[in-house]
Amino acid sequence: MNKNTLNDLRNQLEGSLELDKLSRSLYATDASVYRKVPLGVAFPKNENDIQKLVRFAQKHNIGLIPRTAGTSLAGQCVGEGLVVDVSRYMTEIIEVNEKEKTVRLQPGVIRDELNIFLEKHNLFFGPNTSTSNRCMIGGMVGNNSSGTTSIQYGVTRDKVIQLKTILTDGSIVTFKALTPEAYKDKMKLESLEGKIYRDIYEELKNPDTQKKIKGGFPKESIHRRNTGYAIDALIASSLYDPSKENINICKLLCGSEGTLAFTTEITLQLDEIPPSFSAMVVTHYNTLEDSLKDVVPVMNHNLHLCEMMDKVILDCTLNNKEQMANRFFVKGDPAALLMLELKDDTAQGLEKQLEELLQTINNSGLSYAHPILREEDINKAIVLRKAGLGLLGNMVGDRKAVACIEDTAVALEDLKEFIDEFSQIMKEFGQKAVYYAHAGAGELHLRPILNL
């Protein structure tokens, strides 16, 4: 593209547009292995700037790549058009509604900073990625992010109530839950917004289409998933089935990785700060299979955390000075551990929950030890679990745990069979793998240990 054309655009923006080689190189990657050098990097100051960028992109037929912290793992922020980084100026927390437990904010607010701000309101935003100290809400919506807390607080899609967006024609449109009547009123609009409502209705109304979508998507019980656009969430609405909740296009936008609209404001449903009394039981197993068998019964309890670490990852913490201290609770040489955290508003309530969980663990009889951790010890165990991923890089020798089968989620009842099949494949190739992380959500990180 002609440099003058881009310079003209730059002159129209209140924010900035960087066209130099260094800026373009810096924004050529995210946290993935992909790389494409963009035409330039825009830092919009406000909605007006984004409208100008969208209209420019439309006129010149180039892509816009919305970006917040750029911690995406699959090239979501990589492209040849203009990267639009909203993390510099669009960082305002606009309004908290304590009664409704909601917050309205701009996309560039950092997840952990939001929760620090919300503390005084006794509220918090549940979804919790490993990158929560730097990732931003715009990107969490884009990726439908989740993390260790998803078994208790759900994924980002569950929390998005309303999105203010800019569509491809530059129009500003707010999406939120609509009754079937309100939806049909929207269909009458003569605008791109009206066309979106009409097209979605027409495309999805046929029962055969709905059947195919339901058949093609993963089981409803698999909560953590981003299998393309969430059209299954649209058909599960009162527009097509009176027994369901009202349709909300935000469910489709959430997880659409910036490909459908540019978000300028987000309204989130919040939760009350988690109960203050907690205890963690760490079950120890002689085999990986035994740990997986225990996941289903323990998940019948109201767990706030159900995370797994296997021997390979535990061994990586052995030679690390800092993490040695956090291994204080490990008994013997387990093939796998499950970290099971309970929380309650009262000490008595917590003891009751703990007693019931221990009963389940004893009944299954699969674990050989189950120490109970309290207070600061729980944080140490969580630090050990979080450190595992980074420490995998310290494996001695040429064989390394390669990140090539990340974030695969299955229904809990299928977890053991899925892992058995995976282990069988590894065995056939004479390979071993690392198994760890979100067992309670049916999602394990599986890293084959390969000499590349």
Ligand X SMILES: Cc1cc2nc3c(=O)[nH]c(=O)nc-3n(C[C@H](O)[C@H](O)[C@H](O)COP(=O)(O)OP(=O)(O)OC[C@H]3O[C@@H](n4cnc5c(N)ncnc54)[C@H](O)[C@@H]3O)c2cc1C
Told to check if 31 binds ligand X by CB under 6 A, we report yes
**Which contacts qualify for 226-230: CB closer than 8 Å, 24 or more apart?**
226/143, 226/144, 226/255, 229/255, 229/256, 229/260, 230/144, 230/157, 230/254, 230/255, 230/256
Using alpha carbons, select from 239, 258, 87 the residue that is nearest to residue 177: 239
Measured at the CA of 42, the angle between CA 36 and CA 46, to 5 degrees, comes to 145
Taking the complex as a whole, how short is the minimal distance between the CB of residue 75 and ligand X, in angstroms?
A: 9
Residues 249-268 that bind ligand X (CB under 6 A): 257-258, 262-263
Taking the complex as a whole, how short is the minimal distance between the CB of residue 201 and ligand X, in angstroms?
A: 24
User: Is residue 106 a contact partner of residue 86, using CB atoms and an 8 Å limit?
Assistant: yes
Smaller CB separation from ligand X, 112 or 356: 112
Interface size with ligand X, residues (CB under 6 A)? 32
**Which contacts qualify for 417-420: CB closer than 8 Å, 24 or more apart?**
419/288, 419/289, 419/292, 419/444, 419/446, 420/289
Q: Which of 9, 41, 54, 69 binds ligand X (CB under 6 A)?
A: 69
Told to check if 129 binds ligand X by CB under 6 A, we report yes
Told to check if 70 binds ligand X by CB under 6 A, we report yes
User: Is residue 345 a contact partner of residue 273, using CB atoms and an 8 Å limit?
Assistant: no
Binding marks (x or -) toward ligand X, 37..66, rule CB under 6 A?
----------------------------xx
User: Is residue 141 a contact partner of residue 266, using CB atoms and an 8 Å limit?
Assistant: yes
Q: What is the rounded CA–CA span in Å between residue 382 and residue 197?
A: 45
Smaller CB separation from ligand X, 47 or 351: 47
Q: Which of 40, 126, 142, 388 binds ligand X (CB under 6 A)?
A: 142
The pair of three-digit structure tokens given for residue 449, joined into one six-digit string: 């240990």
Told to check if 86 binds ligand X by CB under 6 A, we report yes
Q: Which of 39, 41, 140, 337 binds ligand X (CB under 6 A)?
A: 140
Smaller CB separation from ligand X, 109 or 200: 109
Told to check if 73 binds ligand X by CB under 6 A, we report yes
Q: Which of 41, 42, 103, 135 binds ligand X (CB under 6 A)?
A: 135
Place of tokens 């998933």: 225
Residue 132: DSSP 8-state: T
Told to check if 313 binds ligand X by CB under 6 A, we report no
Told to check if 248 binds ligand X by CB under 6 A, we report no
Q: Which of 23, 51, 71, 326 binds ligand X (CB under 6 A)?
A: 71
The pair of three-digit structure tokens given for residue 53, joined into one six-digit string: 């960028």
β-bridge mates for residue 319, sequence order:
none
Query: Which region among 70-78, 180-188, 368-376, 391-399 touches ligand X (by CB under 6 A)?
Result: 70-78
Told to check if 145 binds ligand X by CB under 6 A, we report yes
User: Is residue 290 a contact partner of residue 366, using CB atoms and an 8 Å limit?
Assistant: yes
Residues that bind ligand X (CB under 6 A): 30-31, 65-73, 76-77, 86, 107, 129-131, 135-136, 138-140, 142-143, 145-147, 257-258, 262-263
